[in-house]
Amino acid sequence: MTVARQAKGPSWAGGCTLVLGAAGMLGRELVHLLHKRAEESGGRVVSWDLADLDIRDRSAVYGTIGNLRPGVVVNAAAYTDVDGCETDVSGAMAVNAQGPGHLAQACDPVGAMLVHFGTDFVFDGSLERAYRPDDVANPLSVYGRSKWEGEQAIRAASCRHLIVRSSWMFGPRGRNFVEAILAQAGAAKPLRVVNDQVGSPTLAADLADAVIRLLDAGEQGTFHFANSGQCSWFEFAGEILEQAGMDRDVEPITSEQLHRPARRPAYSALDTSKYAEATGTRPVCWQDALRRYLNGRGCLP
């Protein structure tokens, strides 16, 4: 089975890999793993942020990819301010929808594989089971719609592509829920967390590793990856505080009480069975991923 997977995949590791959005939380993890792979295979990694290549600029994208001719383009650039997208619709669409389309169209002539990251926010939360990659999308917010349109733009192009949807991501060197809870708890601020949204937390390092595994397996198409298990944001906050040894009370509230501009799906846990079948590995549980993250930042005794 392993031989068959390798036979259908591109020989990507020994060539040039371009990582966009390299300064972000996920981008940094990807660059770290890809550099390690490049050292083993003799390939090279070019890592750029939005300032280096503005994916909203179609001409710049075509010119750069045409000159560089990478074997793989990994797009970790995104407009991730969910509430901000509600008032900056054109900005969200330019980065999350049009930008990926530009990349896909530019990848095709040079034969590059495009790796792109999607979100659980493409779903409306109406299912009573974890979402599979082929479930119907029905985004509730501008952010979710912009990310869905980005996926569709990639599919409309003829380039080889790998779209990996994830959810509730946390990791070092970036704003995330774990750091927000720890900061509020440390400052003795009241902790009020929604208890009516359920999903799957994901450690950025594990998502980056999952992408490498999918590339190694020669996979294409759409996959879901998140750490196993599911919880509400309220339960997530409680686990963060318990693992960090911080004795603080958390008040459960409803999404309506939070008064956020963007609607969130009430249930958006992701089914990762397609990923497990393709790679032969299963994601570790989110509690263990959280422990590794906190241990790495020095929060645990």
For the chain, the structural domain boundaries read: 2-175+202-227+269-283
Rank 33-42, 184-193, 238-247 by mean pLDDT and report only the highest.
238-247
Read off the tokens for 185: 């708890």
Give the integer Cα–Cα distance in Å for 276 and 301.
33
Amino acid 174: pLDDT: 79
pLDDT at 9 over 60: no
Active site residues: 143
Q: What is the mean pLDDT of residues 230-234?
A: 98
Amino acid 158: pLDDT: 86
Q: What is the mean pLDDT of residues 48-63?
A: 93
Of the two residues 3 and 294, the one the predictor is more confident about is: 294
Comparing 10-19, 143-152, 214-223, the range with the smallest average pLDDT is 10-19
Of the two residues 12 and 101, the one the predictor is more confident about is: 101
Q: Which residues pair with 44 in a beta bridge?
A: 16
Give the integer Cα–Cα distance in Å for 71 and 114.
9
pLDDT at 10 over 50: no
Give the integer Cα–Cα distance in Å for 263 and 253.
15
Q: Considering only CA atoms, which of 166, 119, 177 is closest in space to residue 144?
A: 119
Amino acid 8: pLDDT: 44
pLDDT at 1 over 80: no
Give the integer Cα–Cα distance in Å for 53 and 57.
8
Give the integer Cα–Cα distance in Å for 202 and 119.
11
Amino acid 13: pLDDT: 75
pLDDT digits (tens, 9 = 90+) for 119-152: 999 999 999 899 999 999 999 999 999 999 999 9
Kindly indicate the confidence band of residue 301, based on its pLDDT and cuts at 50, 70 and 90: low
Class of domain 2-175+202-227+269-283: alpha beta
Q: What is the largest CA-CA distance in the chain?
A: 57
pLDDT digits (tens, 9 = 90+) for 166-209: 999 999 987 899 999 999 999 888 899 999 999 999 999 999 99
Whole-number Cα distances in Å, 282 to 74, 133, 211, 229, 272 = 22, 16, 13, 11, 8
Q: For all residues of the chain together, what is the average pLDDT?
A: 92
Give the integer Cα–Cα distance in Å for 216 and 197.
34
Amino acid 5: pLDDT: 38
Give the integer Cα–Cα distance in Å for 24 and 37.
20
Sequence-distant (6+) residues with CB within 8 A of 273 are: 132
